[in-house]
Structure 1
């Protein structure tokens, strides 16, 4: 079995790769893995250092928007797991074009190249943000799509392109939609790693408004196990929600992060949400369809958060250069 992973040097993709190459997915212990990544600001080969010496690992630097790059890498693979995407809501609001280009056109190029190469199986990794915001209950996979940010709209577009390639061209592609991930190796612009690293350094953290926004939190390993189940058992053209089953308001999350780092509310700065209408109030997914494949989250939020905070305590050499580079880029 040969698996190509786009965006495999990013946060979630690298976890998937590390797990597969460490024998974490039964039946795939001998799988060969090709990581295909452009190495933008969020792609980091250090994320793959624990498995970089594996004889089953190969890295290709390439752009999913380039048919030439994809056609050089894809032939001979049995499956593609497509993580590569622009993924930060705030960045999409200040520059939407790159998100549409990468997430919509780039995904279409992946699916088209997979057809040309005769790849037998594809999983397209997406987000619950395509559904918009929900006041009560939880989204099922057939819920209306109402994306509110350029990021979520671009991911909704890529989801529909994936479905079209299944229906029109017979591509064996399934689509996953996850809730908010957290865990080690998470790029420190996202809320949990940003807050953890700021608090470890004795710096304040920015809490939008009163922190009323609610998210369902999913440990990255649980997410990747769900993706693997969909790879093995998912149906062509079908959508599968992957949730963590633990909803927290941003205020509740901040309280837990303060406690985990030994800080108090004097380290919190309430700021006006710069995202306006692009900021959804509540996300909540019903993952019963994926549960029917055998999925269930294993990591409790408290245990996962403790593990994550400790990882950032122990791995300053990984995140300090990333934050320094980001600060330089802003100045």
Structure 2
């Protein structure tokens, strides 16, 4: 049995991880800490609310005293650290929050777990601090460059990726300096249920349903490696169980797509969904173009983002070979699941767009 503290557990990837862990390890205790800023949503955890092994705290990872209290009160032996500001556009217009949460917040967590686990001796031998990072710390690739491996030099290009790179280095330092049991995973772009609607895939789906433009930065040929969010949770599980202390593991889908191709794919799938299910026309009366099978007409090209990285791609060979990791979902199966989830959970995403979701 484990006692987990999941930071940022009301966010997109964090909430999916909580669902995954409770489903697969019902005997374990899962404590969620989330500040419920704009991307944190308690409705994403509503299905586990009554579980007696689940506990939620609204709080900031910068509150070291609160972290220490939670670690002791719930005998926490494993921290899975998702909490982060993660939207690149927001980091360009307001980088301060990214420095505060991603760097200062991570350091606050590390100070708390060092004090409780190492200095005071709670779970001194059996603890684990798992840090969830991103492929963006490695910088940008040209089209023919090999994918990022764990030995790739860090070269972050946005305030977001720079703040995540700094947090990665802090985690590494606490292992090598103090002996903290840490692992880090760097993942490719996630997609799936509970994804905040400002991100590409949910934005395209919800904008089609609202008959709004589908904004494409620049020429739309920026390439990303996509990973279904439950496959990410499965990868983290393997790192926690089998990963070597102090090591980093890339978790990727080996699934590269240009942004414009993803948008066209979603448009086509949405056209097909409405053609096959006429009741959707009644449920989404505003979705005029997709009613006619013309969702692609909403595509609108806009000025490219400042410092926009051209390509990310993850080489997951180390995770495959050391941990036996393989994603279960293809992009085709995962994107169909994602579209159907958004069609079936209008109340969840509409409350975010309306600003009425629980904070």
- Check conservation: 1:64, 1:106, Cα contact below 8 A: yes
Map residues 144-223 of structure 1 onto 2, 5 A cutoff: 144-223=153-232
- Residue 314 (structure 2) pairs with residue 285 (structure 1): yes
- Check conservation: 1:200, 1:261, Cα contact below 8 A: no
- Check conservation: 1:124, 1:162, Cα contact below 8 A: yes
TM-score, normalization: structure 2? Answer: 0.87
- Check conservation: 1:245, 1:297, Cα contact below 8 A: no
Provide the secondary structure at the position in 2 that maps to 1:215: strand
Provide the secondary structure at the position in 2 that maps to 1:81: strand
2:269 paired residue number: 260
Residue by residue over 1:217-250, the C-alpha shift from the partner in whole angstroms, topping out at 9 and shown as x without a partner, is 0000000100111111112221110001110001
Separation in 2, partners of 1:90, 1:3: 31
1:309 paired residue number: 339
Map residues 1-331 of structure 1 onto 2, 5 A cutoff: 1-22=2-23, 24=24, 28-75=25-72, 76-118=75-117, 120-135=127-142, 136-262=145-271, 263-273=294-304, 275-277=305-307, 279-292=308-321, 293-325=323-355
Separation in 1, partners of 2:317, 2:108: 31
Q: Which runs of 5+ in 2 are unaligned?
A: 118-122, 272-293
Provide the secondary structure at the position in 2 that maps to 1:151: helix
Higher Rg: 2
Separation in 2, partners of 1:69, 1:194: 35
Tell me the CA shift for residue 36 of structure 1. 0.7
- Check conservation: 1:139, 1:284, Cα contact below 8 A: yes
User: RMSD value over aligned CA atoms?
Assistant: 1.1
1:329 paired residue number: none
Tell me the CA shift for residue 109 of structure 1. 1.0
Aligned residues: 320
Provide the secondary structure at the position in 1 that maps to 2:111: helix
Separation in 1, partners of 2:39, 2:113: 24
Which runs of at least 4 in structure 1 moved beyond 4 Å after TM superposition? none
